[in-house]
Each structure stands twice: as C-alpha cells, then as structure tokens.
C-alpha cells in the first residue's frame, strides 16, 4: 500500500495539512475498488489530482483516463460529447460519433464540475451508473459500457438539490464515497511551502534568482483569504517573480499584489466604540422624540383653547409662536413648509437595531392627527367668513402669509367658502 507521502512526491502535491492527508488516504483506499467517488471543494484547491490518483492505483490504470469539464461544454452539445450521436441526429451530424463513455470503456472518466450538468443529461448519467447502459443521440439502441466515474464539484449540492438544479438520486449514486479537499485558507502552514515551490519553478522557467520571503511577507501570505486558493497563489507567485527586481520579498511589496488586501485580512473590531456610538445616537433620537411630544402637547393645548373660544384673535395674541409652529412659517414669508397630514406623513426607515425606537416615534406622531387637521380647516373657514372672503385680512388674522393661505385653500378644497 502506497503512503500519502509517496503520493505527494509522485503527483507533485505540496503540504502537510491533516485535511489534505486524509483526502489522499481516502483516495488510495478506494482506488482498488469500483466505488463511484465525488470530490468536493472550492475552485482551485486541486480536485483534479484525486481522480488521477484513483485511476493510477486502480486495476484500470492501463486503460483510458478521460477528464471532462462539464461546465465548459454547451448544453446543446453535451449529450453528444458524452454519449455520442448517430448520423443525421441533428443539423451538422454528418457522421456517426463515439462519445466519451464509449471511448473510455474499461477505463475511468473524470466529470469535473458535475454540478453544471443539465437535468436531461443527469438522467442519462444516472442510467449509466445504475446498469452501465446509454444511448447515442438519435439512436434507439442501448449500448453497454464499463466505466468508472469519478466526479468533482465546487457547488453546494444540498442547495442545488433544494433548488431543483440537481437530482437527489444522482447525487447519492455519485457520492458513494465523498472526498473533501480543504480550502487554502484552512492550510495556513502549507501556504509558504507552496509559494516557495512556485517561486522556484518560475525562477527556473524565466532563468532568474529565486524569490525569498521575509517574516512579514510570510505572515501576510498566511493571513490572506485566498478566495482563488492554490490557483490564485500560483498566479501571484508568477507575477512577483517576473516583476520584482529585489529578490527578497517584504510585506509592503507583497501587499501590492494581493487584491482587496484591506478587506481580506481579519479585523479586530472595538465593540466598545460601536456601543458608544449607538448610545450617542440613541440619546439624540430620544431628545427628538421628547421635543416632538412637547410640540404635540402645545398643539393639544391650542386646540382645546380654540374649542372653548371660537375667536382666533386672542389665541393669536397670546400664542404667536405656537401659531407659527402650526403653519410652519419662517422669518421669510416666501419660504413655506408643508403641513403634515396623514397622506403626506414621511416614512421612517430604520436599521434593525432601532426599529422599536422608530415605532415609538410613529405612535407619538399619530396620537391625534385627524382632529388637528379638522381644526385647522375650521380655523381657516372661520377666518375667511369673518373677513368676508378677503384673503389678505384672513391671512393677517391667522398669522400666516397670504400665499400660504391660498395654498391651504386649494389643499383643503375651500374654494366654495371664498366670496372674494
């Protein structure tokens, strides 16, 4: 039985991570069997090495090994590629064609990105897994094939099944044994080793001295997220090898080659500062709410006084500021502010942390909007009646500009009350 270390040397696999070692040991154990294997892991983690290992240490090692990238073949031609077609099966099918499953008879097929297969193709694949039969496109004759299937995917299969994009029965057929390869960010100790290997390879390729990492650069490599995994690390190593004259790489230089370095590194969040900011915002919000409540109390007081005394004159004399507050008047008579009505009430958009506070604010605002609106209309009607429809006199009595009064008359449809 081959050891994991021997497999690494033979296939050029770098790393001592436990997850990687377990994956290699699994591949060795299942290689001598006919079990169907599903290799999972993120894009760029090296999933293509596992089916090669399984094939090379299996009884089929002298037969054909075919790797098929299912995501790279158009949906309209993938059935023809995998299963072949008969002459005249479709436009352009001028001859009979053998598919991969026919060509690889007795060997191994690696279906990379199997999660991208269309549903009709999944049905055909399921039939091969169940009884080894398939039919060419355009043929009604079943053919037999003896092929071992190893599949790989970076798709979360449980989610794909729930969304109806992948057949559950096919998933269980493919994943008799599942081998998972960990992402590079979970193999922190392997990252410098891989970088040095790539740097050495590119130094030989481009005939230049090998790059060396200082301690700071090594820490940066280990901290970076590597969303593209080994493939991304290899590309970075090639870029730096070609572009940098200084062959000793420091952290500052390396940062320039790592995209989104600031957002990728782990950040230490000072929660005490966030809590302090939230507390400050909450205090401001409470103050605003209390001010609104006081304004509403003043409006209630004015409304009560008006109900007891139909004359507006005494109210205007005793509460000029309150009158201005109702109508939103500013020092500039030409500048007007819309009066809040149920139709024009602003919507409050809040974050989840402050929903309850804004709910409270809305409760306060809606305390008595209807009676206040009716009282405003009644005040305008009475003023117009006393001034015999003279808007200038009525506006002066109400303590507002003539322009504002005109707008209010139109807003509340009081045209019939004018006799001007």
Banded model confidence at residue 79, pLDDT cuts 50, 70, 90: very high
202 vs 365, more confident: 202
Least confident of 53-57, 114-118, 185-189, 331-335: 331-335
316 vs 20, more confident: 20
pLDDT of the residue at 43: 95
The yes-or-no verdict on residue 16 having pLDDT over 60 is yes
The yes-or-no verdict on residue 324 having pLDDT over 60 is no
Least confident of 137-151, 266-280, 355-369: 355-369
The yes-or-no verdict on residue 97 having pLDDT over 70 is yes
The yes-or-no verdict on residue 354 having pLDDT over 50 is no
16 vs 295, more confident: 16
Average pLDDT over residues 301-313: 61
User: Domains of the chain by range and CATH?
Assistant: 4-182 (3.40.50.300), 186-264 (1.10.8.60), 271-417 (no CATH)
DSSP per-residue codes, 273-314: HHHHHHHHHHHHHHHHHHHHHHHHHHHHHHHHHHHH---SHH
Q: ∠ CA(324), CA(325), CA(327), 5° rounding?
A: 65
Are residues 55 and 67 in contact, defined by beta-carbon separation less than 8 angstroms?
no
Banded model confidence at residue 388, pLDDT cuts 50, 70, 90: confident
Rounded to an integer, what distance in angstroms lies between the CA atom of residue 25 and that of residue 7? Answer: 9
pLDDT of the residue at 412: 78
What's the mean pLDDT when you consider all of the chain?
A: 81
């Amino acid at each position: 039985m081959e050891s994991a270390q021997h497999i690494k040397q033979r296939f050029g696999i770098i790393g001592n991570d436990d997850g990687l070692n377990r994956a290699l040991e699994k591949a060795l154990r299942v290689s001598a069997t006919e079990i169907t294997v599903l290799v999972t892991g993120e894009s760029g983690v090296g999933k293509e090495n596992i089916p090669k290992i399984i094939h090379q240490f299996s009884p089929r090692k002298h037969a054909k090994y075919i790797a098929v990238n299912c995501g790279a073949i158009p949906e309209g031609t993938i059935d023809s590629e995998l299963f072949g077609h008969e002459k005249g099966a479709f436009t352009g099918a001028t001859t009979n064609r053998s598919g991969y499953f026919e060509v690889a008879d007795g060997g191994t097929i690696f279906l990379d990105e199997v999660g991208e297969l269309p549903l009709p193709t999944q049905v055909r694949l399921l039939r091969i897994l169940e009884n080894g039969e398939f039919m060419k496109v355009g043929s009604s004759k079943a053919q037999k094939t003896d092929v071992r299937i190893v599949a790989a995917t970076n798709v979360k299969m449980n989610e794909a099944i729930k969304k109806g994009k992948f057949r559950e029965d096919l998933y269980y057929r493919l994943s008799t044994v599942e081998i998972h390869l960990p992402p590079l960010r979970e193999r922190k100790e392997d990252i410098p080793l891989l970088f040095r290997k790539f740097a050495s390879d590119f130094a030989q390729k481009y005939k230049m001295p090998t790059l060396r990492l200082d301690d700071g650069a090594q820490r940066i490599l280990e901290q970076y997220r590597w969303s593209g995994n080994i493939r991304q690390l290899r590309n970075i190593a090639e870029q730096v090898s070609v572009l940098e004259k200084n062959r000793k790489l420091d952290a500052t230089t390396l940062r320039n080659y790592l995209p989104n370095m600031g957002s990728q590194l782990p950040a230490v969040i000072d929660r005490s500062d966030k809590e302090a900011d939230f507390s400050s915002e909450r205090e401001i919000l409470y103050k605003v709410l209390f001010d609104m409540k006081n304004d509403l109390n003043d409006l209630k007081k004015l409304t009560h006084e008006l109900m007891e005394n139909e004359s507006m004159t005494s109210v205007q004399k005793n509460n000029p500021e309150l009158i201005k507050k109702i109508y939103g008047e500013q020092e500039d008579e030409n500048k007007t502010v819309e009066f809040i009505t149920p139709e024009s009430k602003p919507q409050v958009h809040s974050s989840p942390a402050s929903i309850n506070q804004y709910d409270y604010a809305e409760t306060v605002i809606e305390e008595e909007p209807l009676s206040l609106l009716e009282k405003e209309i009644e005040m305008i009607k009475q003023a117009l009646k006393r001034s015999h429809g003279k808007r200038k006199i009525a506006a002066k009595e109400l303590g507002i500009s003539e322009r504002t009064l005109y707008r209010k008359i139109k807003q509340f449809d009081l045209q019939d009350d004018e006799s001007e």
